[in-house]
Structure 1
Amino acid sequence: MATHPKEHFAESLLKRAHSPDTASTILRERVKQRPLLLRPTSPDPSLNARSKRQYERLQKAKADRKSNKPKPLSAKRKRALCIYEIPKEQQRYAIYEPMHTMWCGYMREVLGLSGGKRVFVDANSAGPMLVSADYHGALVEVTRSRCVSRVGLKGIVVKDTKFTFEVVTGKDEVKAVPKEHTVFRFEVPFECREGDGEAKQPLVFEIHGSQFENRAPERANKKVKAHFDPDL
């Protein structure tokens, strides 16, 4: 007595969703006649001396590439190498005077004073610009501070950190002035042009260092509200 071939389990599942002819076609094209792609396996290095030497060369090359990749310096290593310290021979006020001249031109552009089109600024319009400005090169003077000995300190900003302004003074000394509880004053002179009769007085600004306790790139998106500071 002839026995019927056992139905493939995939065909029985396909018949639940398709007609018998469609199920048979899908089974034949997608299952039975589907090519099986094989990837040649690597020989066991322990059984083949040549393969073992090749394997060891590949592992050595991989380790060399990993070891040659430079690693970022840690904060402790940066302090030990004094990467952010200004060398003693470069702590001279005369070196940074040209940078202050460039900064004055930069501030005139920020405040819209270039070209003589504008001669007046108010706190509402200038405040957001001053907060987002860069102060490397600014000639600042401490006008108010909880530490009385810092009042009157004047110098060009050579480093603007999160909590301090590092300035080089006229005595060729670098001083770190904390921003907290300190008011700084700086001037922005008008552009000198030929034919001007009387020289204009520079614009004088005072900023509260407590409002600038952010790194320079982070201050661009910071919003500062005008309010009275009771700490001073």
Structure 2
Amino acid sequence: MTDSPTPKAQHIAHTLLARAHSPDSAEQQFTERVKQKPLFLRPTSPSAADNRSRRRLHRLRKKEYFIRHQRPRSLSAREKRTSGLYDLPKDECKHAIFKGLHALWVGYMQEILDLKIEGKSGLVTPASHGAKLVSADFHGAEVEVVRSRCASRVGVKGIVARDSKFTFEVVTEKDEVKTIPKEHSVFRFKVPFPTSTPSESAEGQQSQQGPKPLVFELHGSQFENRATDRANKKFKWRNIDYL
């Protein structure tokens, strides 16, 4: 005696569709909408520890992105002083070394004032060249203190090695570095006319028949700005307290 095969159990969805539709329609809807429809399973919810690690990883990646794309942070004033950025090596503070810088500065000022060879140039007036003079860079200028409230500063002469906001650091002919505050001090500097030989123009050697150099006086109290800040600053006329 052979056992008859056990009938296969019918799907519950097929049974329910057969109650509401014809056999053909129920078979078609069961095949298309139930049997062949993809089943999307919801993933298991992450634990609290997984959420924390994911947020931490997101913060780290965001921080790395901004660090990679941001500009380098500039050094603070304390870090600059600690690193010795403002220190002038004593072996290099020689007046003869800074003569070359002074020669470059003379050519720079001659270009600003529109000076030509043999003095054939336009008239230098405060209205035409005043704004250029106050915005100029004085690194390399040879300045002399002509008036000051501190009598010991009067007569100090040298080439400017550093033009800071409140002071001039000059190298004298005796190879000494002196720091002169700008406040309550008047500085004098000269700009010679260009000559046919650049060496004579650089050293300021003018013949007796040639034109005299232009002489300017700089009031330090009205000049307390960094060289980089003066380039884009608009200066106004102010009353000057004579010393």
TM-score by length of 2: 0.65
Task: Give the CA deviation at 1:80.
Answer: 1.5
Contact 1:155/1:167 (<8 A) preserved: yes
2:229 to 198, 213, 218: 218
Contact 1:211/1:224 (<8 A) preserved: no
Residue in 2 that maps onto 1:75: 77
In structure 2, the gaps of 5 or more residues are 1-41, 49-53, 198-206
Residue in 2 that maps onto 1:229: 241
Task: Give the CA deviation at 1:71.
Answer: 5.1
Q: Which amino acid aligns with 1:172?
A: D
Alignment of 1:10-29 (within 5 A): none
TM-aligned CA distance change 1:57 to 1:213, over 3 Å: closer
Task: Give the CA deviation at 1:228.
Answer: 3.4
Comparing 126-135 and 149-158, the one that deviates more: 126-135
Residue in 1 that maps onto 2:112: 110
Residue in 1 that maps onto 2:220: 209
Alignment of 1:186-201 (within 5 A): 186-193=189-196, 198-201=209-212
Deviations 1:117-171 (A, max 9, x none): 4164233333222101110000000000000000000000111111111111111
* Aligned-pair Cα RMSD in Å: 3.3
SS across alignment from 2:91: helix
TM-aligned CA distance change 1:197 to 1:207, over 3 Å: closer
TM-aligned CA distance change 1:228 to 1:78, over 3 Å: closer
Alignment of 1:126-165 (within 5 A): 126-165=129-168
Residue in 2 that maps onto 1:92: 94
Percent identity between matched residues is 51
SS across alignment from 1:105: helix
Alignment of 1:24-39 (within 5 A): none
2:174 to 171, 174, 179: 171
TM-aligned CA distance change 1:226 to 1:45, over 3 Å: same
Between the two proteins, the alignment pairs up a number of residues equal to 189
Q: Which amino acid aligns with 2:111?
A: E
Once residues 222 and 44 of structure 1 are traced to their aligned partners in structure 2, the CA distance between those partners, rounded to angstroms, is 64
Contact 1:187/1:203 (<8 A) preserved: yes
TM-score by length of 1: 0.67
Q: Which amino acid aligns with 1:174?
A: V
Deviations 1:182-218 (A, max 9, x none): 1000010111127x99222111111101111111122
TM-aligned CA distance change 1:63 to 1:109, over 3 Å: closer
